[in-house]
Structure 1
Amino acid sequence: MSSGVRDEAAFDRKLIAPMVLGAILNPINSSMIAVALVPIGIAFGASPKATAWLVSGLYLATATGQPVMGRLVDRFGPRRLYFVGTALVGVAGVIGMVAPSLGVLVAARALLGLGTCAGYPAAMYLIRSESRRTGVDSPAGVLTTLSVSAQTVVVVGPTLGGLLINFGGWRSVFAVNVPLAVAALALGAIRLPRTEQSRQDGRRQPFDLLGIGLFAGMLTALMLFLMEPSVAHLWVLALAIAAGAGFALRELRFPEPFLDLRVFGGNPPLIATYVRTLLAQTIAYAVLYGFTQWLEAGRGLNASQAGLVLLPMSLVAIGVAALTGRRQEFRIKLLVGAAAQIVACCLMLLLGDGSPVWLPVLIAVVLGLPQGLNSLANQNAVYHQADPARIGASAGLLRTFTYLGAMVSSAASGAFFHRRADTAGLHHFAIFLIVVAVLLLIMVVADRSLSRVGSEPDESRSRDAED
């Protein structure tokens, strides 16, 4: 309908700062912890399998909390949920600063995950509402800003975390959440619009507490099995399957389900986007958690050095996202991203305890391509593929599948790094990731609908989804 310049001019730009700050709270906490896992394990005498719960605990909370927040944002509007979420982030930061044990630290991470759930669906809601207000369909510049900012903090996070640990110890990666939460609350109070009518509508609708419980139980049981898969633990997998079946029946019958499975109905391209997100993020988070742990425990680098090794990944990712963000070639972006992940994981097989530093740096450079392409392409695809009336829930589900990928990578990290993140474990981890990357490439090649994403107006997408 109009150019990217007119899109940005029509959009209320004072919304961008709170949107971006709220949306980056989760990725910055996801990435900074990567270089803190080894120091925390040393501090509490814990193995990589135990410290993996610092990752899994956050993502169990976010995988459940993200669709909840998406539904609440759709009902109540973004302002109130934004405040609640950022306040929880500040509280979790304080708990992490004083946590006396690994268990308390895991609880702080879970609370942190819950608190960071509101920012992204709130941002997507605001983008959609601004589109309705202005009559301008796809604010490509704003979507790119949102994605680039999230990608920037994800890839810069390990470097930032390493610097914080170097000067203030591992607790500083929790302490940084306090000023971030205060800044987000201040910006939200000043700039976020009020949505009174949405709150009134929300009071009349019951909330699906049973569905939330079944979903959380399913994910927890699945995570417990993935962390230590064996025949003796098949009963845990059976419990996950039973909870999943009960959850699906509940959501399809409940008038206002917490996770609206109708988002999937009649919309195969959207389902494919969610599955691609899971696969791509499994590899992305495996690099953050598994590869980074090997740099410290296997290659012998300290937290700050490990963060610096990953810095080229951030520079490449930022550049790629900035250069390609306004372009609609979703299929080409995802093809390049999947191919680059295959190459990077194959290069990991060449690593050893005495490998020259340039080799992991080269791997980081190659990984910058998918970091800059995959998330941006999948996020923009959801914006175009989702039913506009369910954009908050659809955006929340995108993050849920992102977190499921993080949970799979965390479980794999715990499985392949038994007592220590050594080179043998890294090689097995890399083979697993190559399989995942090949599956992702096959999905992209097979999905012809990607060539049409963004070429139809919102009304057509909505009618197609209903059909």
Structure 2
Amino acid sequence: MRRMWQPARGFDARFALPVLLGPALNPINTTMISVALTPIADAVHVSASTVVWLVAGLYLVSAVAQPLMGKLSDAYGPKRVYLSGLVIVAVSGLLPTLLPTFAGVMIARLLIGLGTSAAYPAAMTLIRDQSQRYNLEAPQALLSGLSISSLVTAAIGPVLGGVLIEFFGWQSVFLVNIPLALIALAIAWAWLPGDSTRVAAGPRPLTLREAVDPLGIALFAVTITSLLVFLLDLSSGLYWVIPIGFAAAGCFVWWERRAPNPFIDLRMIARNGPLARTFARLFLVYTAIFLVVYTASQWVQAEVGLAADAAGLIQLPAAVLAGIAAVVVARTRKVRLPLVVAAFAPLLGGVAITQLTSTSSLWLIVSALAVFGIPQALGSISNQAALYRQAPREQIGVASGLSRTAVQLGAILASGLVGVVFGAEPSDAGMHAVGWIVVGLTSAALVLTIFDRALEVGPGAQP
């Protein structure tokens, strides 16, 4: 009996801890910045519509880098990619202190996006490799832990950011990455198995060109950048970027459908309707969530008059609800009901936001924002459960990476909409517009969920 349990040691705390630490850095950086936007804008003398590029830039890099890092992990070893990403994060955390300008902060955010993007796909590859080493299925608790750790850190990001800014200044939301990355780096260096011990996955490793699909990456980046340039600076009338974006998107689709090793496997997505709908739900719900996260923090500081630490603390109930919902949903194999709730709860929250003003009582504001903690938990864990059933077994890593890209594309759109609804500065009217946009997005997600028969759990379904 003791011999039978011996292989499970490959997934003990020495393996699980570093695997869970690294992926938490991306979500905490995506949400921690929300309460720093106003202080940074004041310090470097830029408008609200300009400072939001700090949000959009990280998501642009992450959306491109996560699938790329996944391919590099498969081709050249996940530990190398994982450690390299952590080094980039640690270095980038120091830049805004050395170069306290908008350019310096922007470069730091782009590097943080690149570095943190390595962790999740590398972690998935590490888990897969460990399964092959021990000829053992990866524990479901560890896979769920990846989702829950990201969820928790994303939820506490605004709270941590607010406290750091209040006591140490806005640069602290970057400096905190240094100890976090170095701790994760030391543990991963010491405890993760070396890439030389990997079980060969195929007849030969991919070449660099096969692994990265440079043309596909370039076309995808041009498409997303064109959208961002247009949305984030509407007042400049940069309409010439629209045809560039459409042309790049068309070329991207044409190339990816023909490329032997595409950056994003559009053929696989087109053949798998249930998986495509899972990506769509993630995109719709998370666009709504991030739109509220980024606009609410600016609004309560500029219009309601709260300090940065208070702006972070009023989102604490959302973090608490997210934690409670995560515990509840992790115990069930059913996905339809949690996903219906994940769409309906923010729909109600959107309606509530349309009624808020700067003179509304604080408990009404907190209640409206707290609702958005529910879809953060249910949308993440239940869509991941659906994805594991729907994705081809041989492409589970690719599908997992694409699910993150769907979330990040939603965040990119949300960051672009901030400038559209607020313009030069936050306002009550802008928040009301946010509420109605959220209602539209989550209504679409609700319809998509209710009529998706593939979400029914069959007798042999896997969570």
Query: Could you state the TM-score of these two structures normalised by the residue count of structure 1?
Result: 0.91
Runs of 5+ consecutive residues of structure 2 not aligned to the other structure: none
State the alpha-carbon separation in 1 of the partners of residues 397 and 455 from structure 2. 22
State the alpha-carbon separation in 2 of the partners of residues 457 and 305 from structure 1. 43
- The amino acid across from 1:390 in the alignment is Q
Residues 1:220 and 2:225 are matched in the alignment = yes
Residues 290-331 of structure 1 deviation map (CA, whole Å, 9 limit, x = unaligned): 111111111110110011100011111111102221312111
Structure-2 residue corresponding to 1:286: 291
Residues 77-102 of structure 1 deviation map (CA, whole Å, 9 limit, x = unaligned): 31111011111111211112323321
Q: Which moved more, 1:31-40 or 1:203-212?
A: 203-212
Structure-1 residue corresponding to 2:247: 242
Task: Identify the match of residue 428 of structure 2 among 400, 419, 423.
Answer: 423
Q: Which moved more, 1:282-291 or 1:156-165?
A: 282-291
Residues 1:300 and 2:305 are matched in the alignment = yes
Structure-1 residue corresponding to 2:356: 351
- The amino acid across from 1:357 in the alignment is L
Q: Give identity over the alignment, percent.
A: 39
Distance apart, 1:110 and its partner CA: 1.0
Contact 1:62–1:400 (CA under 8 A) maintained in structure 2: yes
Residues 1:316 and 2:321 are matched in the alignment = yes
Contact 1:7–1:140 (CA under 8 A) maintained in structure 2: no
Runs of 5+ consecutive residues of structure 1 not aligned to the other structure: 459-467
Contact 1:7–1:141 (CA under 8 A) maintained in structure 2: no
Give 1:50-449 correspondences, 5 Å limit: 50-132=50-132, 137=137, 139-196=139-196, 197=200, 201-203=205-207, 206=210, 207-229=212-234, 232-449=237-454
- The amino acid across from 2:282 in the alignment is T
Distance 1:276 1:78, change over 3 A: same
Contact 2:49–2:233 (CA under 8 A) maintained in structure 1: no
Distance apart, 1:6 and its partner CA: 13
Structure 1 residue runs of 4 or more that deviate by more than 6 Å after TM superposition: 5-10
Distance apart, 1:126 and its partner CA: 3.0
Contact 1:251–1:257 (CA under 8 A) maintained in structure 2: yes
Secondary structure of 1:167's aligned partner? helix
Distance apart, 1:427 and its partner CA: 0.5
- The amino acid across from 2:103 in the alignment is G
Q: Which moved more, 1:349-358 or 1:30-39?
A: 349-358
Give 1:451-462 correspondences, 5 Å limit: 451-452=456-457, 455-456=460-461
Distance 1:205 1:50, change over 3 A: closer
Structure-1 residue corresponding to 2:28: 28
Residues 368-396 of structure 1 deviation map (CA, whole Å, 9 limit, x = unaligned): 21122111112232233222322322222
Contact 1:381–1:453 (CA under 8 A) maintained in structure 2: no
Contact 1:71–1:392 (CA under 8 A) maintained in structure 2: no
Contact 2:288–2:437 (CA under 8 A) maintained in structure 1: no
Distance 1:308 1:185, change over 3 A: same
Distance apart, 1:56 and its partner CA: 0.5
State the alpha-carbon separation in 2 of the partners of residues 6 and 154 from structure 1. 35
- The amino acid across from 1:108 in the alignment is A
State the alpha-carbon separation in 2 of the partners of residues 401 and 115 from structure 1. 19
Contact 1:12–1:130 (CA under 8 A) maintained in structure 2: no
State the alpha-carbon separation in 1 of the partners of residues 7 and 358 from structure 2. 51
Q: What is the RMSD computed on CA atoms of the aligned residues?
A: 2.4
Q: Which moved more, 1:356-365 or 1:260-269?
A: 260-269
